[in-house]
Amino acid sequence: MATHKSAEKRARSTARKQVVNRARRTRAHSALVKVESAITAKDFKGAMAALRAAQSELARAAGKGIISKNRAARKMSRLSARIKALKTK
């Protein structure tokens, strides 16, 4: 446990940030789940709308350092490729 005044303050701020970061990660994950379910249902328009929202959430999470920028880009790229494949079928 923290014994110095500065370490105690750091522990408090870390706990606050942890709550915020968990909420951000959850929002990004929920957006991805919506895209996945639309793709599974073969709903092209729904998947496109969900992808737009997911891209925004992923970019925000990557900008805040919740996930890496490369991971966000990779997720967006793979999801858009799967949606594009839906359109061609």
pLDDT of residue 88: 83
Tell me which residues of the chain have a pLDDT lower than 70: 89
pLDDT of residue 71: 97
The domain spans of the chain are: 5-88
**Which tokens hold the place of 28?**
């990004």
pLDDT of residue 1: 76
CA distance 54 to 73: 11
CATH topology of domain 5-88: Methane Monooxygenase Hydroxylase; Chain G, domain 1 (1.20.58)
Distance, C-alpha 22 to centroid of its chain: 11
**Which tokens hold the place of 17?**
């940030």
* Residue 57 host element (H or E): helix 44-63
pTM of the model: 0.85
